[in-house]
Amino acid sequence: MRSGDVYDAIPKVELHCHVEGTVRPATVVELAQKNGRQLPSEDPTELYRYTSLNSFLEIFWLVQELLVDRDDWARVAYQSVVDAVPHGLRYREMFFTPARHLAAGQDLAEIVAGLSDGIEQAVLETGARCALICDIDRAYGGGAGLELVERLAALRRSGRGERVIGLGMDSTERGVDPRDFADAFRLGESVGLRLTSHAGEDTGPDNIATALDALRIERIDHGLAILEDEALTRRVAEERIPLNVCPNSNIIIANKYERLEEHPFRRMRQAGVLATLNTDDPAMTDLDLGKEYRTVARALGMPWSEIEEVALDGVEATWLSEGEKRSLRAQFERELAEIRPSDPSEVV
């Protein structure tokens, strides 16, 4: 066995991954040709370089604009799942952020139908499962956020939105007050959507607390700043509010830390927080789930036994029913028992 393959074999849940961030570089070029868009470089790996969260978002938005019709959405959703399965993906709750597509005249029903087509095909081929979380793009403001959720609610009423199980929020964080989106989140909650939000990726712990209180979110995406606030850390730990953390992304995209060794992921878990591991935008950061687990384990000195706990905590943090969680956890425990090294107290 090649070194590191055991990390690919760990069964995994992924709760923080953007479909637009999973588009293969070759697909970026093909979509640009198909849809008549000019790329700033013919070599997409040139595009995938960033100096800050905002410089990353410019590229992310460029890739988003390449998704024009139902087939485009289906294609990227399909590829995103089949690309992740060899690295251990068993179940994912995946973001899509349709703000700029809706502003350009696309139909939310077509976007969701395309994503669902691609996922269904991938599920048939791989057996992995995938639900969707519709993200509000903060940069478009509270009014657009509410309008998006109104469309989502209508889609659910018409029976065409069942794959979308949650509402989230992403994009630029600085200078945006989470409270502007309270109406959108209340409407989402009233139609049965589960709630999460990116918070504390690029700002302090106040933004996490505000998102928890004003938006009543059930999970936090990133939440990097949490350890700066002891009382908030205790609250999140006691209430088992999951933090969906993406350590490699925080270095490559948000430029929050110089090196993975400085990342607070393990300290979050040692403080009792239910922190999960995720790739965020894997195609844009040359990442996959196996690499995420492997690099984090080695950089932070996490023994195998702790990594098993991370994988199992992923199941707890999902929005599956209690029965589905129990059966997925049992499956994970069986698979983990098969690959467990002789001394799980060591870093592999």
* Closer residue to Zn ion (CB): 250 or 295: 250
**Which of 20, 93, 173, 201 does the annotation list as catalytic?**
201
**Which positions from 92 through 111 interact with Zn ion, judged by CB under 5 A?**
none
Instruction: Tell me the window of 28-36, 115-123, 208-216, 272-280 that interacts with Zn ion (CB under 5 A).
Output: 272-280
280, 288, 292, 313: residue in contact with Zn ion (rule CB under 5 A) = 280
Q: How far, in Å, CA of 60 to CA of 212, rounded?
A: 26
Assess contact for 327 and 40: CB atoms under 8 A: no
User: Taking the complex as a whole, how short is the minimal distance between the CB of residue 33 and Zn ion, in angstroms?
Assistant: 28
User: Taking the complex as a whole, how short is the minimal distance between the CB of residue 253 and Zn ion, in angstroms?
Assistant: 8
* Closer residue to Zn ion (CB): 6 or 224: 224
Assess contact for 105 and 145: CB atoms under 8 A: no
Q: In what order do the strands lie in the sheet with 219-222?
A: 12-14, 89-96, 129-137, 164-170, 194-199, 219-222, 243-245, 275-277
* Closer residue to Zn ion (CB): 8 or 280: 280
Q: Helix or strand or coil: residue 151?
A: helix
Residues 232-271 vs Zn ion: string with x where CB under 5 A? ----------------------------------------
Residue nearest to Zn ion (CB): 280
Q: How far, in Å, CA of 277 to CA of 296, rounded?
A: 9
**How many positions of this chain bind Zn ion (CB under 5 A)?**
1
Is 201 one of the catalytic residues?
A: yes
Instruction: Tell me the window of 4-12, 118-126, 251-259, 274-282 that interacts with Zn ion (CB under 5 A).
Output: 274-282
Q: Helix or strand or coil: residue 219?
A: strand
Instruction: Tell me the window of 135-143, 144-152, 275-283, 312-320 that interacts with Zn ion (CB under 5 A).
Output: 275-283
User: Taking the complex as a whole, how short is the minimal distance between the CB of residue 105 and Zn ion, in angstroms?
Assistant: 26
User: Taking the complex as a whole, how short is the minimal distance between the CB of residue 266 and Zn ion, in angstroms?
Assistant: 20
In the block, which residue shows the tokens 């992921």? 265
* Closer residue to Zn ion (CB): 60 or 73: 60
**20 makes contact with Zn ion (CB under 5 A):** no
In the block, which residue shows the tokens 């691609």? 118
* Closer residue to Zn ion (CB): 94 or 232: 94
* Closer residue to Zn ion (CB): 280 or 308: 280
Q: Token pair for residue 264?
A: 């607070």
How many CA atoms within 13 Å lie on the side-chain side of 225?
Answer: 15
Cα dist from 55 to 122, 175, 260, whole Å: 32, 16, 21
Q: Token pair for residue 14?
A: 């992924």
User: Taking the complex as a whole, how short is the minimal distance between the CB of residue 16 and Zn ion, in angstroms?
Assistant: 6
Q: Under 8 Å CB-to-CB from 325, ≥6 apart: which residues?
A: 315, 316, 318
Residue (of 269, 283, 343) closest to 312 by Cα position: 269
Point out which residues bind Zn ion (CB under 5 A).
280
Active centre residues (catalytic): 201
